[in-house]
Amino acid sequence: MFDIVVIGAGITGSFTASLLAKLGYRVCVLDKQVAGHKTSCTGIVSKECLELLQANPAVIQQEAHSARIFSPSGSFIRVDRESPQAYVLDRPGLDSFMAARAQSCGAEYRPHTLVKSIDLHDNYITAVCRHARQDYEMQAGAVVIATGFGSNLTEQLGLGRINHYAHGAQAEVTCRGIDETEVYCGSAVAPGFFAWLVPVGKSQAKAGLLCRNNPREYMSSLLKKLADEGKIVRDDYPVNYGNIPLKTLGKTYGKRFVVIGDAAGQAKPTTGGGIYFGLLSASEAVDVLDASFKAGDLSARRLFRYQQRWQKILREELTIGYWAHRFYQKLDDRQICHIFDVIERHGIHESFLTSPDITFDWHGKIIIEAIKHRSLQRSLAGFNRGMLARIRQGGRPK
Ligand SMILES: Cc1cc2nc3c(=O)[nH]c(=O)nc-3n(C[C@H](O)[C@H](O)[C@H](O)COP(=O)(O)OP(=O)(O)OC[C@H]3O[C@@H](n4cnc5c(N)ncnc54)[C@H](O)[C@@H]3O)c2cc1C
């Protein structure tokens, strides 16, 4: 019998397994695939996130100092800082590294093991697993659900499912003359979201997008557009798909279990980045589980502390981000172009770049600053007052 079973050998599962194994818990990580299979992620993280990961520098593919953000009309705003603003990581390589580290800390890994269901008992949990066409049961003191977006385990445990999400698509492409990240906005490329071309090295890049529906069609148009513009050499690269939660689960804990990462919906609704917030929440989960094991109390009441703790860190940020995303979704191309125009004309992006409030991970403050900015406030006023008020309200109770 293990102390803790972690379901999912993705980034949050392996990070959690390492921390728990280091604390001396007997940990088993189960994954229906093998750690390092995830190819639908760009792997862009901040310096803070990189430090938290303590990953092998070999997984860093590129430092990002600057980006060009294109409006629907094709004009762009360039943001540039001297120091690197983000790092592009080899996501499969990172996941393999994190799994190897957790194993070196003592965690046991069982790949190709699908967890079909979880039964909660007074003194233990049972995970019903399927491996090599055989079903078997595993017991442990507690379970961490790190299954990524869309697993039915949360629903089985009575936590429901996240219905608000974005479709993501990405391809590894060969590019020409692209030396900084490009972001594309507008209804033709990625309605309600954005698309990207992120260079990783001299001639390689990751091209991808988020959208509400039809990811295959939008991705095929994006690749065609980039090839027509001569930015990438072909338009028929293999594409990987994945979904990103835009809202969190209402409840992320219960008797003898916690839910972390994309399974809990801990991703930024503004950009879809989920690695950093998943890791921050995983750290909180480990602290709470450790204290709960020590107290001999793994009741739902006790594990509620996990939810309180991650929400204290993320709730306001996620709420502002969610409403900012909804606001953006309602804008048409003309309105987006107008906002670009105002930002450019008043040098708003430049003043924000020097602001200490602008960080790669925390967007709440800068969103609030932006909508309060005199020139933007005037332009935005006519758009959608209700939603602007919700953004301003942030996570604060009404
Ligand atoms: C196109 C795209 C681009 C992205 N780019 C970025 C980015 O640049 N930066 C960023 O921070 N985030 C990015 N993200 C988001 C990021 O990929 C996720 O937030 C992150 O992978 C979540 O990690 P996780 O550990 O919660 O889940 P995952 O990495 O999805 O891992 C879940 C694991 O659980 C396993 N599993 C699921 N169900 C079961 C089961 N029943 N039994 C056993 N195993 C199971 C799966 O096989 C998987 O290995 C992107 C996402 C997409 C789709």
What residues contact residue 6 under an 8 Å CB cut-off, 6+ apart?
A: 13, 16, 17, 20, 27, 28, 29, 30, 107, 143, 144, 146
If asked whether residues 101 and 29 sit together in one domain, one would say yes
Average pLDDT over residues 29-56: 95
| Predicted local confidence at residue 299, as pLDDT | 98
If asked whether residues 224 and 250 sit together in one domain, one would say no
**From 18, 52, 244, mutation site for ligand 1 pocket: most ligand atoms within 8 A of C-beta:** 244
pLDDT in tens, 115-165: 999 999 999 999 999 999 999 999 999 999 999 999 999 999 999 999 999
| Predicted local confidence at residue 353, as pLDDT | 67
Angle at 150 between CA 216 and CA 206, to 5 degrees: 40
End residue of a domain, out of 222, 245, 268: 245
Instruction: For residue 54, give the nearest of 9, 94, 17 by alpha carbon.
Output: 94
If asked whether residues 234 and 372 sit together in one domain, one would say no
If asked whether residues 158 and 97 sit together in one domain, one would say yes
Number of domains in the chain: 3
If asked whether residues 102 and 219 sit together in one domain, one would say no
| Predicted local confidence at residue 6, as pLDDT | 98
pLDDT in tens, 205-225: 999 999 999 999 999 999 999
| Predicted local confidence at residue 33, as pLDDT | 97
Q: Is the pTM of this model over 0.75?
A: yes
Report which ligand 1 atom has the smallest distance to the Cα of 262.
Answer: 26
Average pLDDT over residues 70-97: 93
Strand partners, 67: 79, 181
Q: Is residue 322 in a domain?
A: no
- Give the integer Cα–Cα distance in Å for 99 and 238: 26
End residue of a domain, out of 211, 227, 245: 245
Q: Is residue 326 in a domain?
A: no
**From 16, 29, 32, 361, mutation site for ligand 1 pocket: most ligand atoms within 8 A of C-beta:** 32
**From 31, 53, 210, mutation site for ligand 1 pocket: most ligand atoms within 8 A of C-beta:** 31
Q: What separation in Å is there between the alpha carbon of 249 and the centre of ligand 1?
A: 16
- Give the integer Cα–Cα distance in Å for 9 and 107: 11
Between the CA atoms of 65, 69, 74 and 75, what dihedral angle is there, to the nearest 10 degrees?
-80
pLDDT above 70 coverage of the chain, percent: 95
| Predicted local confidence at residue 392, as pLDDT | 74
Confidence tier at 3 by pLDDT (50, 70, 90) = very high
What residues contact residue 43 under an 8 Å CB cut-off, 6+ apart?
A: 61, 88, 89, 90, 91, 94, 275
Average pLDDT over residues 318-347: 90
Q: Is residue 26 in a domain?
A: yes
| Predicted local confidence at residue 201, as pLDDT | 86
- Give the integer Cα–Cα distance in Å for 151 and 262: 10
Q: What would the two tokens of residue 303 be?
A: 């594990």
Q: Is the pLDDT score of 352 beyond 90?
A: no
Q: Is the pLDDT score of 359 beyond 90?
A: no
Output the average pLDDT for the chain. 93
If asked whether residues 110 and 128 sit together in one domain, one would say yes
Q: Which domain holds residue 207?
A: 55-89+165-245
| Predicted local confidence at residue 360, as pLDDT | 80
| Predicted local confidence at residue 397, as pLDDT | 47
Residue nearest to atom 27 of ligand 1 (CA): 148
Q: Is the pLDDT score of 237 beyond 50?
A: yes
Q: Is the pLDDT score of 235 beyond 70?
A: yes
**From 42, 47, 145, 266, mutation site for ligand 1 pocket: most ligand atoms within 8 A of C-beta:** 42
If asked whether residues 113 and 260 sit together in one domain, one would say yes
Average pLDDT over residues 59-69: 94
If asked whether residues 173 and 308 sit together in one domain, one would say no
Q: Is residue 48 in a domain?
A: no
Give the binding-site residues of ligand 1, using a 6 Å CB cut-off: 7-13, 30-33, 38, 40-45, 114-115, 146-148, 151, 153, 168, 170, 208, 242, 244, 261-263, 267, 272-276, 278
Query: 240, 41 in Cβ contact below 8 A?
Result: no
- Give the integer Cα–Cα distance in Å for 394 and 322: 9
If asked whether residues 69 and 172 sit together in one domain, one would say yes
- Give the integer Cα–Cα distance in Å for 331 and 355: 26
- Give the integer Cα–Cα distance in Å for 395 and 272: 19
Q: What would the two tokens of residue 158 be?
A: 């009575």
End residue of a domain, out of 195, 213, 245: 245
Q: Is residue 179 in a domain?
A: yes
Q: What separation in Å is there between the alpha carbon of 94 and the centre of ligand 1?
A: 12
- Give the integer Cα–Cα distance in Å for 259 and 253: 6
Other beta carbons less than 10 A from residue 281's beta carbon? 29
| Predicted local confidence at residue 398, as pLDDT | 44
Average pLDDT over residues 176-199: 96
Could you tell me if residue 251 is left (phi over 0), alpha (psi between -120 and 50 degrees) or otherwise beta? Answer: beta
Instruction: For residue 303, give the nearest of 251, 255, 248 by alpha carbon.
Output: 255
Q: Is residue 202 in a domain?
A: yes
- Give the integer Cα–Cα distance in Å for 149 and 155: 12
Query: 253, 306 in Cβ contact below 8 A?
Result: yes
376 or 155: which leads in pLDDT: 155
Average pLDDT over residues 281-292: 98
Query: 165, 149 in Cβ contact below 8 A?
Result: yes
Q: Is residue 372 in a domain?
A: yes
Q: Is residue 47 in a domain?
A: no
| Predicted local confidence at residue 49, as pLDDT | 97
Report which ligand 1 atom has the smallest distance to the Cα of 275.
Answer: 11
Q: What separation in Å is there between the alpha carbon of 397 and the centre of ligand 1?
A: 31
Could you tell me if residue 198 is left (phi over 0), alpha (psi between -120 and 50 degrees) or otherwise beta? Answer: beta
> What is the DSSP secondary structure assignment for residue 232, as one 8-state letter?
B
Q: What separation in Å is there between the alpha carbon of 72 and the centre of ligand 1?
A: 30
Domain CATH number, residue 23: 3.50.50.60
If asked whether residues 216 and 363 sit together in one domain, one would say no
Other beta carbons less than 10 A from residue 176's beta carbon? 13
346 or 189: which leads in pLDDT: 189
Q: Is the pLDDT score of 356 beyond 70?
A: no
If asked whether residues 22 and 128 sit together in one domain, one would say yes
Report which ligand 1 atom has the smallest distance to the Cα of 88.
Answer: 8
Average pLDDT over residues 3-21: 98
If asked whether residues 16 and 125 sit together in one domain, one would say yes
- Give the integer Cα–Cα distance in Å for 95 and 98: 5
Query: 200, 181 in Cβ contact below 8 A?
Result: no
